[in-house]
């Protein structure tokens, strides 16, 4: 039990701004972005690594469970307390220092509580950015804990690839601080320990600071909508585009007809860009970009893209039914509207899956064919990142569907989708959302015994006290 | 002690070709590429993951120490047995299957015993390659154990970035086989265990198979030699080139005058490309490349590079003293001749260091200034990868220098260089060669206690038996 003494000690450690205990102050921290609502014993808001260490040490010694919370924008119940009122939230939101740009090294040393949008706004005048492109606006610590990917993964990779250093506080009696890397790009002097804290939901330690790789901002961009000849031609189209464009290609996003129609219905300001207003079964948003500024005598990127598409089009066995280049802003606006559109088209049951790139369309086709026999009146509104294998596999059920009252319905649906994705197609049940309470059951089911044993061993040597929402 | 019974059992497990015990057969495995000569009890050459597991299990149960050996091209004594004759070598050289290209996924599932050159030759007709560019020709398992980087790190990253899956045999009584990843690009369902086996010298397990990311082969390349106005202008030059060229830039290699002169002296067929044959104090080899084929109406890359250099040149405060574009083949020939040239210019004492990019030239200047006072008649013949912070810091002592007879001389030199690099400049004592017996003393010295404790804990839960040449 957490008593007044504990609260008093924590307040002494953290100061007035550093500890919230009033229900009205805590409410925003107790509810997740889309799911969940728990109850916290307190919200600790340390303003430095040292304060974080002090709080963690105190809580470990006193048996107080902590849930680290970053931007709280995650979708798998990974950053909110349970309903007991006995867990404390450890919020990163005051860990906003340092913000130290090393222009020559092309790195940023940053507090884990900084928001992605804030970081990139402050970097803009240096012509650099942290190249993770997301719909949400998380804080850095949470991006590291989930190893987010996003829409430009194909070009820039995930958070893991762009993390050069971490400062981590372990959940042990000392609140041990690990200084892991300091911006070296090459360093092979033992285990690269920072890798263990990336994508592991904060269970092995709390990230308080990081050193990030930055990339030059793109200075030219061109986009096109591509309509494949048939779903099973999408892999050919991807290979043809990569063959012709190499590393110019910065996005290759798939959008189903159902998702596009949901977005157009929800956001009437969006222009329907398709001939006769007829949305094709499946559309690819392809983007090419260059970080170099336009140079005299050089073809504009729009023309490059037109030419490449024309060459693919002219092939005897062209995988294209239609293709047109258009303004990047407008094309991305449609892509970015999919998530909200789908959410508003009924009750959304969302999956964040990934596959080998050649298996995505096979999986989608399979599900389209099998869904009616397994679950009637469930609409598949998928979209995702074909270029890196990620699929936001969204299922929509009419909002007034009586089955929604039955808890077993959603869980039967989840069971079936995960079974097909993981067991039949060798996919992942969490591409870029990590585990959280929501995926715990699937971690327990699909993780081989020897890996679970290793994870338990690792937990024991790093952060033996409970930390966060996942039990490894 | 390893007796005839052990040998007989191992031979039964592995077959005639799978076990070598004759001194003449073992000799090639007992000596490293450049340093070391040990003595092995036997050379086990399993041809599959299952055979590897069986050998490891038998050896662990019988207290027989194993040294995993891949291409044996490493430079830190990481793959050769000690002189006791009591260690067995576990060679990867028969682990040459599978070789399974997934064209759509852009991945290769490969046996850890395949040579880099072999892999890339076989991939060429698909227009793809494993993008690690090295002077040596290692096997894949060793590349993973050392996390090699090479000359195109700036564009493609290291082995870690390009490894999507591993199969690993642990040194426990069961010879446990871990199947870590299967080519998914996005998968965040727990600890990314494969990261622990990358760059850790084989101490935590033996990699038998891997799934590698492939990249489209570059189809256009242009190179230039850049002469900075002064050593401390190199960072400005790097930033200017990245600003103008973004991800076109695929190499930014530094070469000291001493290294270039050594190469020209050793390989008379090389053309001296510098005006009047006078080699500048420091030269940068910059490369730009495109994976897209040349398109009509598009500027050739040579012209792009010329234009960018002209624009930098015209700045008021230009960091350039000279620059000229030339044939990539010829320019890289000089770069690739540095290593051999330096080796033949006297007795070489080599260091594989790395720094934050802004610190490299400061370190080199410092060493040039300080060396004579610390060690007379030692020539600094550095070259390296300025774009990613790596420096091959080579010291050359006249071959007949009497100090070489004194063991303390080389070790005093090493101590001093590592002290300055690590303690004064925050660098790494092993950028891309990993640890091995050679760097063990520096691992022990420079690794913080809490990290050493974690490493010991990790060793206990993965491969509790001794494995390889490093003690974590």
Q: What is the CATH number of the domain that holds B376?
A: 3.30.70.2740
- Over residues A157-189, the pLDDT tens digits come to 999 999 999 999 999 999 999 999 789 999 999
Domain annotation covers residue B110: yes
> Which residue out of B131, B133, B185 would a mutagenesis test of the A interface target, given it has the greatest number of A Cβ atoms within 10 Å?
B185
B461/A462 touch (CB, cutoff 8 Å), yes or no: no
Q: Is the pLDDT of residue A298 over 90?
A: no
pLDDT score of A471: 95
Neighbours of B117 (CB within 10 A): 12
pLDDT score of B36: 83
Residues B383 and B412 in one domain: yes
Whether B381 and B423 have beta carbons less than 8 Å apart is answered as no
Q: Is the pLDDT of residue A391 over 80?
A: yes
Across chain A, mean pLDDT equals: 95
Asked if the interface predicted TM-score (ipTM) of this complex is over 0.90, the answer is yes
Domain annotation covers residue A444: no
Non-local (6+) Cβ contacts of A307 within 8 A are: A299, B295
Q: What is the C-alpha to C-alpha distance for residues B149 and B134, in angstroms, rounded to an integer?
A: 8
A458/B458 touch (CB, cutoff 8 Å), yes or no: yes
Q: What is the C-alpha to C-alpha distance for residues A450 and A439, in angstroms, rounded to an integer?
A: 19
Cis peptide before B98 (omega within 30 of 0): yes
Neighbours of B375 (CB within 10 A): 17
Residues B313 and B394 in one domain: no
Strands A379-380 and B19-20: unpaired
Residues B60 and B106 in one domain: no
Q: What is the C-alpha to C-alpha distance for residues A123 and A41, in angstroms, rounded to an integer?
A: 37
Query: Closest Cα of chain A to B277: distance in Å?
Result: 32
pLDDT score of A163: 98
A192/B195 touch (CB, cutoff 8 Å), yes or no: yes
Kindly state the percentage of chain A with pLDDT values over 70: 100
Query: Closest Cα of chain B to A401: distance in Å?
Result: 32
Residues A87 and A103 in one domain: no
Residues B208 and B225 in one domain: no
A291/B191 touch (CB, cutoff 8 Å), yes or no: no
Residues A244 and A310 in one domain: yes
Residues of chain A with C-beta less than 8 angstroms from the C-beta of B426: 182
Domain annotation covers residue B307: yes
For residue B194, CA distances in Å to A36, A147, A450, B60, B372 come to: 33, 15, 14, 22, 45
Domain annotation covers residue B238: yes
Residues B141 and B160 in one domain: yes
pLDDT score of A234: 97
pLDDT score of B235: 96
Joined tokens for residue A179: 């200084």
Residues of chain A with C-beta less than 8 angstroms from the C-beta of B190: 199-200, 435, 443, 447, 451, 455, 472
Burial class of residue A126 in the structure, from the number of CB atoms within 10 Å of its CB (0-12 exposed, 13-18 middle, 19+ buried): middle
Point out the domain boundary residue: B216, B236, B259: B216
Please give the tally of structural domains in chain A.
4
Joined tokens for residue B227: 């002469």
pLDDT score of A292: 82
Query: Closest Cα of chain A to B244: distance in Å?
Result: 5
Q: What is the CA radius of gyration of chain A?
A: 23
Domain annotation covers residue B293: yes
Q: What is the C-alpha to C-alpha distance for residues B286 and A334, in angstroms, rounded to an integer?
A: 40
**Three-state DSSP class for B442?**
helix
B244/A293 touch (CB, cutoff 8 Å), yes or no: yes
- Over residues A113-161, the pLDDT tens digits come to 999 999 999 999 999 999 999 889 999 999 999 999 989 999 999 999 9
For residue A3, CA distances in Å to A64, A85, A355, A419 come to: 11, 12, 48, 45
pLDDT score of A119: 98
Domain annotation covers residue B458: no
Q: B63: domain CATH number?
A: 3.30.43.10
**Three-state DSSP class for B208?**
strand
Q: In chain B, whose CA is at the least distance from the CA of A293? A: B244
Helices A449-462 + B449-462 axis angle, to 10: 160
Q: Using CA atoms in the order B327, B328, B333, B338, what is the torsion angle rounded to 10 degrees?
A: 110
Residues B174 and B115 in one domain: yes
Residues B248 and B311 in one domain: yes
Residue with tokens 């094309």: A331
Size of interface A-B (CB pairs under 8 A): 264
Per the structure, the complete domain to which residue B38 belongs is given by 4-91
Per-residue tens of pLDDT for chain B, all 472 residues: 899 999 999 999 999 999 999 999 999 999 988 778 999 999 999 999 999 999 999 999 999 999 999 999 998 999 999 999 999 999 999 999 999 999 999 999 999 999 999 999 999 999 999 999 988 999 999 999 999 998 999 999 999 999 999 999 999 999 999 999 789 999 999 999 999 999 999 999 999 999 999 999 999 999 999 999 999 999 999 999 999 998 889 999 999 999 999 999 999 999 999 999 999 999 999 999 998 878 777 778 999 999 999 999 999 999 999 999 999 999 999 999 999 999 999 999 999 999 999 999 999 999 999 999 999 999 999 999 999 999 999 999 999 999 999 989 999 999 999 999 999 999 999 999 999 999 999 999 999 999 999 999 999 999 999 999 999 9
pLDDT score of A346: 96
Residues B370 and B316 in one domain: no
Point out the domain boundary residue: B167, B189, B216: B216
Query: Closest Cα of chain B to A144: distance in Å?
Result: 11
Point out the domain boundary residue: B216, B232, B250: B216
């Amino acid at each position: 039990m957490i008593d007044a003494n504990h609260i008093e000690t924590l307040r002494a450690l953290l100061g007035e701004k550093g500890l919230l205990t009033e229900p009205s102050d805590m409410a925003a921290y107790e509810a997740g972005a889309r799911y969940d609502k728990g109850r916290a014993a307190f919200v600790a808001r340390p303003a430095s690594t040292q304060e974080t260490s002090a709080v963690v040490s105190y809580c470990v010694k006193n048996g107080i469970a902590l849930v680290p919370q970053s931007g709280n924008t995650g979708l798998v119940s990974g950053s909110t307390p349970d309903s007991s009122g006995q867990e404390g939230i450890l919020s990163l939101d005051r860990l906003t220092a340092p913000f130290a740009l090393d222009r020559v090294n092309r790195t940023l040393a940053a507090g884990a509580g900084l928001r992605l949008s804030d970081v990139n706004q402050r970097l803009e005048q240096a012509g650099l950015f942290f190249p993770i492109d997301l719909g949400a606006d998380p804080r850095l610590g949470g991006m590291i804990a989930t190893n987010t990917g996003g829409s430009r993964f194909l070009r820039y990779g995930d958070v893991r690839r762009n993390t050069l250093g971490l400062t981590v506080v372990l959940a042990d009696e000392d609140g041990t601080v690990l200084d892991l890397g300091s911006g070296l790009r090459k360093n092979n002097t033992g285990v690269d320990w920072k890798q263990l804290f990336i994508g592991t939901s904060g269970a092995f330690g709390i990230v308080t600071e990081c050193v990030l790789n930055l990339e030059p901002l793109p200075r030219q961009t061109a986009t096109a909508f591509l309509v494949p000849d048939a779903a099973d031609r999408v892999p050919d189209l991807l290979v043809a585009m990569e063959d012709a464009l190499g590393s110019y290609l910065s996005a290759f996003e798939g959008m189903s007809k159902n998702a596009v129609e949901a977005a157009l219905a929800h956001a009437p300001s969006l222009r329907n860009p398709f001939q006769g207003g007829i949305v094709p079964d499946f559309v690819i948003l392809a983007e090419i970009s260059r970080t170099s500024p336009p140079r005299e005598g050089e073809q504009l990127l729009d023309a490059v893209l037109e030419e490449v598409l024309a060459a693919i089009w002219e092939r005897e066995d062209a995988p294209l039914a239609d293709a047109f280049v258009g303004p990047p802003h407008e094309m991305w606006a449609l892509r970015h509207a999919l998530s909200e559109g789908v959410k508003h088209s009924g009750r959304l049951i969302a999956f964040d899956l990934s596959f080998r790139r050649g298996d995505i369309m096979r999986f989608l086709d399979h599900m389209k064919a099998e869904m009616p026999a397994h679950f009637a009146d469930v609409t598949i509104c998928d979209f995702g990142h074909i270029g890196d294998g990620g699929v936001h596999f969204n299922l929509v059920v009419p909002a007034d569907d009586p089955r929604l009252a039955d808890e077993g319905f959603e869980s039967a649906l989840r069971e079936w989708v995960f079974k097909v994705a993981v067991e039949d197609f060798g996919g992942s049940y969490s591409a870029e959302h990590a585990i959280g309470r929501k995926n715990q059951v699937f971690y327990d089911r699909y993780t081989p015994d020897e890996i679970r044993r290793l994870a338990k061993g690792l937990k024991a040597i790093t952060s033996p006290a409970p930390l966060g929402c996942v039990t490894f």
